[in-house]
Structure 1
Amino acid sequence: MIDHMRRTLALFFCLFAFGVRFAQGAPAETANLQPIHIKLTEEEARVAGVETQPVEQESSLGELVVPGVVAVPPQQLRIVAAPAAGLIETLLVAPDEDVKAGDPIATLKSSELVEAQRAFLHALADANLATEKLRRDEQLFKERIISERRLIVTRAEATQARSALEERRQILALAGMTEEEIATLQRDRKFASALNVRAPISGVILQRHGTTGERVQASAPLVTIARLDPIWVNLQVPLGRAAALESVDRVHLPIAGIDGDLIRIGRTVDLATQSVTAVAEFRPGRSPLRPGQAVQALLRVRGGSGSQWRVPADAVVSHQNHNWVFVRAPEGFVATPVTLVSETPQFASVQGQFKPGDRVATRGLLTLLAELAETEK
């Protein structure tokens, strides 16, 4: 008993040297590993607090529970900015409000808008004058009163005037004026002192950045709009479980009762959490999923061709970067390498050398790990 206590205490000092940790993400490669026999009497196992539970054979579909955060797909997110410098006269929307594409979301008073309209009308007058001059010169050329060279110059001037007018039209469109508003300006020659900023897409107002009465510069953000269907969940998967992502069949969100698809698996590892980010896409419908919400996701994992067993999650430990379980044997235990297929807080699905009736240790694992380290020495 004293020897076992010494070994257990020694284990705490050599955990990092042996790379031993409970199952938090060890690689699943076990092809070159062999079971290791550990001698332990019934009395020694009882004193060490070792407890066992039976293994159960199961189908080739396992589960993996991971945390995640709801996020808006970047292609469905728009930040509406002020098209020109000016004063925010009114903000017409509130956070969490639904809007449709083209709905007004703010009105902006801008001297830049007035100047852009003045330049447009000036370009319109020049274009009209150039068009009239071209019409007259074409008639004079037909009557052989002017030379062809003068007609070519007049045509070039008319083309340049039309280009300048189109440029000013595009500037007004970039400033937020609609085609109808530009046509009204062209017809009535009356300036609009305020500009309606409109929603570029249909969606939900996530955030208001400006306030009524605030002076803003051009390109200053006013509101953020997002389309929330479909929606993404960024999953944080421990590095050791990342191999199972290739076999994920479906992703289930218990909080919303919906299923989705895994659409992306990250290729980098978070330095702080040692986890891989995977992205699942869902069609939420009326489900209460909100951007920034923390959720738990259930990954349905297809097993391999070998037999698959369910064991208590506490039975799986990591030693020397491999997953192991301790199987009860007549003279002690057998440290058996396993391939971890999936895991929930209660159970783990593994592949390994088991047979019906086998029992695995779920308590007293520190003692068994110490014995395993001694055996390997």
Structure 2
Amino acid sequence: MKKIIIAQIISALLLMADVTLTPQEEKNWQIQTALGKEVTHVPLDEYMMRVTTPPKLLHTISLPYEAKVIQLSKANFQSVNKGEVLALLNSPQWVEAQKEAISALIKLTHSESEASRKSKLCKEEIIAQKECITAEAEVKTDKIKLLSSKAVLKSYGATDEMIKTLFKDLAIFPNIELRSAVKGIILQTDIETGKNISSSNALFVIKTDGEDWLEGDIPQAVATALKPSQEVIIKINDKEIKSKVLLMSPTLNSLNQTRYVRFSLPKEAGLLAGLRAKVELSVERKAFVIDKKALIQNGADTMVFIKKGQTYHTLKVIVLAENREVCYLDYNAELKEPIAISATSILQNKLQQGE
């Protein structure tokens, strides 16, 4: 019991003790010092993560009708602009839709002509007023039918210019151009020249421009240091990228005590979807980086020797992170002074001998 009390007293004294050395003693014991480096981010550790594409960036192109592929203009991994032709198609339904649109136009033209004729007769009171009202109602009905026919044509992929030409020349287009509704890169195609396609097929999947995601499972002990929208630094292949926490799973994986975390990945990072890589994660926190050899243990306390003039005094520190060579200490203004990085055991023994 007496030994334990003495050890505790020595430990307490060590936390507040100083030792002063002469230049010759420093030289004899080869005591070296170095300045800590002030940093704004502290690394947490390395984790395996994967690059994924947000669903909102994936645009699927399909058809509301059955068709046959006449010509294919784009293939996997090619860039495509909005409105650019992807394929040339032929469909009986497309031809029938044009016929119905032309029929609706002819009927509207006829009903407008008839309504105009009856309007003149009504003004001269040659026919009853109700006949003019009926004729105007028929015009309105035919206009709605024509608008509906135009909507159907557009659903098939017809442009305003095509519809204008169709109504002007009354000539049916045998084929229809399938155009991209977005600008991006084609990730997947399910279409071949000469093959028939159904309305249920996803013909093209196009990735539009935007930020990807970086996802992975983080140990719960580390995840506690993160929160949604928090800014972080991710390092992949020696390249540092500014990111932020987008999502943290509200549940814990009971098998390995990890939480699923999603980070933003700016498009400037240039990382391809599907990539799996080791990612070094750092969080914003003011700290000092020092040589790991500077650390000494005093029971449960971690300390360093700070030099002021020819005097070394102990300073209790909090280690936030470490690797084989350096450690990250919680910010303390005293760490701006030179720190002993060699012969620390000699300094520790010197203090204990002095006490």
TM-score (norm 2): 0.68
- The one-letter code sitting in structure 2 at the alignment partner of 1:204 is I
Q: What are the ranges of 5 or more consecutive residues in structure 1 without an aligned counterpart?
A: 1-36, 38-55, 313-325, 360-377
Aligned structure 1 segments of 4 or more residues deviating by more than 6 angstroms: 307-312, 343-348, 355-359
- The one-letter code sitting in structure 2 at the alignment partner of 1:264 is L
Residue in 2 that maps onto 1:103: 84
Are 2:310 and 1:328 aligned? Answer: no
Q: What are the ranges of 5 or more consecutive residues in structure 2 without an aligned counterpart?
A: 1-7, 9-34, 303-316, 343-355
Contact 2:248 2:260 in 1 (8 A): yes
Are 2:234 and 1:234 aligned? Answer: no
Q: How far apart, CA to CA, are the structure 2 residues paired with 1:213 and 1:185?
A: 26
**Structure 1 residues 303 and 152 mapped into 2: Cα distance closer, same or farther (>3 Å)?**
same
- Give, in angstroms, the shift of residue 176 of structure 1: 0.8
Q: How far apart, CA to CA, are the structure 1 residues paired with 2:238 and 2:211?
A: 14
Residue in 2 that maps onto 1:260: 242
**Structure 1 residues 251 and 128 mapped into 2: Cα distance closer, same or farther (>3 Å)?**
farther
SS of the residue 1:145 aligns to? coil
**Structure 1 residues 283 and 342 mapped into 2: Cα distance closer, same or farther (>3 Å)?**
farther
Partner of residue 275 from structure 1, selected from 259, 265, 274:
259
Partner of residue 43 from structure 2, selected from 54, 58, 63:
63
Q: Superposed, which structure 2 residues align to 1:310-325 within 5 Å?
A: none
Q: How far apart, CA to CA, are the structure 1 residues paired with 2:300 and 2:149?
A: 82
The alignment yields a C-alpha RMSD, in angstroms, of 3.7
SS of the residue 1:245 aligns to? coil
**Structure 1 residues 346 and 328 mapped into 2: Cα distance closer, same or farther (>3 Å)?**
closer
Are 2:234 and 1:289 aligned? Answer: no
Partner of residue 132 from structure 2, selected from 148, 151, 160:
151
User: 1:214-261, CA deviations, whole angstroms, 9 ceiling, x for partnerless residues?
Assistant: 222114111111124433323443222223223953433433835233
Q: How far apart, CA to CA, are the structure 2 residues paired with 1:214 and 1:236?
A: 43
- The one-letter code sitting in structure 2 at the alignment partner of 1:108 is L
Q: How far apart, CA to CA, are the structure 2 residues paired with 1:351 and 1:183?
A: 71
- Give, in angstroms, the shift of residue 165 of structure 1: 0.5
Q: How far apart, CA to CA, are the structure 2 residues paired with 1:194 and 1:339?
A: 73
Are 2:169 and 1:169 aligned? Answer: no
**Structure 1 residues 346 and 71 mapped into 2: Cα distance closer, same or farther (>3 Å)?**
farther
Number of residue equivalences: 288
Contact 1:269 1:277 in 2 (8 A): no
Residue in 1 that maps onto 2:186: 205
**Structure 1 residues 295 and 328 mapped into 2: Cα distance closer, same or farther (>3 Å)?**
same
Q: How far apart, CA to CA, are the structure 1 residues paired with 2:230 and 2:322?
A: 13
SS of the residue 1:226 aligns to? strand
Q: How far apart, CA to CA, are the structure 2 residues paired with 1:224 and 1:346?
A: 48
- Give, in angstroms, the shift of residue 351 of structure 1: 5.4
- Give, in angstroms, the shift of residue 138 of structure 1: 1.7
Q: How far apart, CA to CA, are the structure 1 residues paired with 2:318 and 2:195?
A: 61
Identity of aligned residues (%): 21
Are 2:141 and 1:160 aligned? Answer: yes
Contact 2:66 2:199 in 1 (8 A): yes
- Give, in angstroms, the shift of residue 189 of structure 1: 1.6
SS of the residue 1:119 aligns to? helix
**Structure 1 residues 205 and 344 mapped into 2: Cα distance closer, same or farther (>3 Å)?**
farther
Partner of residue 159 from structure 2, selected from 169, 172, 178:
178
Q: Superposed, which structure 2 residues align to 1:85-164 within 5 Å?
A: 85-164=66-145
Q: How far apart, CA to CA, are the structure 2 residues paired with 1:188 and 1:248?
A: 61
**Structure 1 residues 199 and 340 mapped into 2: Cα distance closer, same or farther (>3 Å)?**
farther
- The one-letter code sitting in structure 1 at the alignment partner of 2:300 is V
Contact 1:61 1:302 in 2 (8 A): yes
Q: How far apart, CA to CA, are the structure 1 residues paired with 2:238 and 2:106?
A: 61
Q: How far apart, CA to CA, are the structure 1 residues paired with 2:204 and 2:232?
A: 35
- The one-letter code sitting in structure 1 at the alignment partner of 2:263 is V
Contact 1:235 1:280 in 2 (8 A): no
**Structure 1 residues 227 and 136 mapped into 2: Cα distance closer, same or farther (>3 Å)?**
same
**Structure 1 residues 74 and 343 mapped into 2: Cα distance closer, same or farther (>3 Å)?**
farther
Contact 1:263 1:281 in 2 (8 A): no
- The one-letter code sitting in structure 2 at the alignment partner of 1:63 is P
TM-score (norm 1): 0.65
Contact 1:68 1:295 in 2 (8 A): yes
Bigger CA drift: 250-259 or 153-162? 250-259
